[in-house]
Structure 1
């Protein structure tokens, strides 16, 4: 399995190419919380997947991530929009560089899971710290929305075993509501499908992509909101 920490540090551009093959999540977010005129934080913003679709309607938006390399791409994308209501900042998700009660909406896409993995012996403490920090920064009547994987290459939700306890804690301990959606990848051709899946998901999935000609690769995504 590829080292995602190294990918985010050294291959942010290629990672951005991969996620650009999925639809954006604007309408899904709006169904949970219309965001026009809100102060928004994108937690674990990466290459700006969520920031770039929220910036147009936000009052302000802050993109936070532990990887400076990823945020460089976010900054480049946002500069091209012509908007000035944004900023990027390197930050640990467990100790956010945010003022108390400063956000109306906090979104986190495919980022908290790295702390919530049961392969991390401190996952429970780390998730507690992240949730506590998000609530600290959230205004009264604010909203938190978390996106995480429920399986790549599957048509129905099949969460990885090492994330099941984290997902259960979001619902049972922290009282998040939950739903699942499909967010499939649509690649330009088979060469691109093999290259990008091998790069991020490893040889097992990429070999299956080639064998089954999966230019359209199914992906299930979980959404938790509070």
Structure 2
């Protein structure tokens, strides 16, 4: 299966699973609310200091982390593949004037080199092919400033 076929499958899958743009849909779990409450502080505690920093959030979804990141960062670019998710994120977080919302496929996303202090990704790469992960990793490193950080977290607790 090639990358174009994977993108078509993912697009179709998420179109079916994003109609309500809910936390349960985004996390593919009926217990999403309690899971989110328990994992949120842990994830944030693992981040490097990001006060006053420029962040790109890949797979931002409905904004579970966007608003929290925006409270301390100088700028957040929130990117998600699904229009319904990024719209819900914008509805929830547009009061933060330091956030740009972008509906885009990270496998073809273009950003200026050395433009971010932190690349943040939570539950994204598991939806990409090995080749796409490698290409994205190269891009993420090119988008980082000299002293920047990449944070990514994946979870394959159970098959979705």
> When the two structures are superposed, what TM-score results if normalisation uses the length of structure 1?
0.57
Note the aligned Cα RMSD (angstroms). Answer: 2.2
Distance 1:41 1:124, change over 3 A: same
- Cα displacement (A) at 1:7: 3.9
What's the counterpart of residue 134 of structure 1?
Answer: 140
What's the counterpart of residue 173 of structure 1?
Answer: none
Asked if residue 93 in structure 1 is aligned to residue 106 in structure 2, the reply is yes
- Cα displacement (A) at 1:27: 5.1
Which of 84, 87, 94 pairs up with 1:72?
87
Q: CA–CA distance in 1 between the matches of 2:137 and 2:157?
A: 23
Distance 1:132 1:77, change over 3 A: same
Verify the 8 A CA contact 1:101 1:136 in the aligned structure 2: yes
What's the counterpart of residue 25 of structure 2?
Answer: 15
- Cα displacement (A) at 1:11: 3.1
- Cα displacement (A) at 1:128: 1.1
- Secondary structure, counterpart of 1:149 in structure 2: coil
- Secondary structure, counterpart of 2:132 in structure 1: helix
How many aligned residue pairs are there? Answer: 143
Which of 151, 155, 160 pairs up with 1:145?
151
What's the counterpart of residue 8 of structure 2?
Answer: none
> When the two structures are superposed, what TM-score results if normalisation uses the length of structure 2?
0.78
Within 5 Å, give how 1:99-110 maps onto structure 2. 99-110=112-123
Verify the 8 A CA contact 1:44 1:109 in the aligned structure 2: yes
- Structure number with larger C-alpha Rg: 1
What are the Cα deviations for residues 81-128 of structure 1, in whole angstroms up to 9, with x where unaligned?
x3200010112212223211110001111112100xxxxxxx221111
- Cα displacement (A) at 1:31: 3.5
Verify the 8 A CA contact 1:91 1:97 in the aligned structure 2: no
Which of 22, 31, 39 pairs up with 2:54?
39
Alignment gaps of 5+ in structure 1 = 116-122, 153-159, 161-200, 202-226
